[in-house]
Amino acid sequence: MSQPTQSDATTHWTPTHGAPYRPVPYRPERMPAAESLARAAELRERMARRRTVRQFSADPVPEQVVRDAIACAATAPSGAHQQPWTFVLVKDPEVRRRIRAAAEAEERLSYEGRLGEEWLAALRPLGTDEVKPHLTDAPQLIVVFQQRHWLGEDGSRRKHYYVDESVGIAVGMLLSALHLSGLAALVHTPSPMRFLREVLGRPANEKAFAVIPVGYPAPECEVPDLVRKSLDQIVVEI
């Protein structure tokens, strides 16, 4: 089959190579149980060391690590394999200043009362506030958009399914990939996020999902002393 051209890809994109169902064999080599156990234990330990970071060093990170992490995220399962996500890597310092100014303006209203007392009380032990230096200071900034529906270059629309779930899974995989590659990140959700589509010039079918600064923790970085729930508290075996 010939490769689709760019224009085919944007106007006639399909999640497989076209209907009807045409399965291909999948025969990954089975991992011996002992190796699975060892890997799982090691992974559990490494993942437990991931922390959300709000104070970043200005040191640059290898950009290919970020690209590879995004490529990992993009292997996520998605509703009808529609891959309803766009990852915008924001490098332009002026654009980042605009994002920070707009986010801090919204956050100020939120922290000054818009969130409500119950929500503000829930955040207090985490020490968050409306000042968001990471938006300009972290060496990399990824803005993740959900494609609420498909929009072809010719204006054609198609429904997307399970968009929240799909993009949530992809962002989880992105955070894991970044962490396991040695980088720190933060999932920041300025609210409301409408301004991001405008500032980043994204099309009408896209809705911002999260802003993710990426880098190394600053030497003076501190994090809240969090308690993670034990497996007993979160796993039910029936």
Q: Phi first, then psi: what are they for 169, rounded to 5°? A: -65, -45
Can you tell me which of 12, 191, 192, 194 binds ligand IYR, judged by CB under 6 A?
191
The CB-of-1 to ligand IYR minimum distance in angstroms stands at 46
Nearer to ligand IYR, 84 or 190 (CB): 190
β-strand pairing of 157-159 with 85-89: unpaired
Nearer to ligand IYR, 66 or 193 (CB): 193
127 binding ligand IYR? (CB under 6 A): no
Nearer to ligand IYR, 17 or 228 (CB): 228
Can you tell me which of 66, 100, 188, 205 binds ligand IYR, judged by CB under 6 A?
188
Can you tell me which of 128, 136, 176, 181 binds ligand IYR, judged by CB under 6 A?
128
Nearer to ligand IYR, 5 or 191 (CB): 191
The three-point CA angle 9-13-19 to 5° equals 135
C-beta separation of 51 from 126 below 8 A: no
How many Å separate Cα 105 from the centre of its chain?
A: 23
The CB-of-68 to ligand IYR minimum distance in angstroms stands at 27
For 148, other C-beta atoms within 10 Å of its C-beta total 16
- How many Å apart are CA 46 and CA 63, to the nearest integer? 22
206 binding ligand IYR? (CB under 6 A): no
The CB-of-236 to ligand IYR minimum distance in angstroms stands at 25
The three-point CA angle 96-100-102 to 5° equals 115
The single residue listed with the structure tokens 């200071």 is 137
C-beta separation of 140 from 206 below 8 A: no
Residue ranges in 23-82 that form contacts with ligand IYR under rule CB under 6 A: none
User: Which secondary-structure segment (H or E) carries 141?
Assistant: strand 140-147
123 binding ligand IYR? (CB under 6 A): yes
109 binding ligand IYR? (CB under 6 A): no
Site residue total, ligand IYR (CB under 6 A):
8
189 binding ligand IYR? (CB under 6 A): yes
The CB-of-134 to ligand IYR minimum distance in angstroms stands at 10
Percentage helix, strand, coil, to 5, in the chain? 40, 15, 45
**What residues line the site for ligand IYR (CB under 6 A)?**
107, 110, 123, 128, 188-191
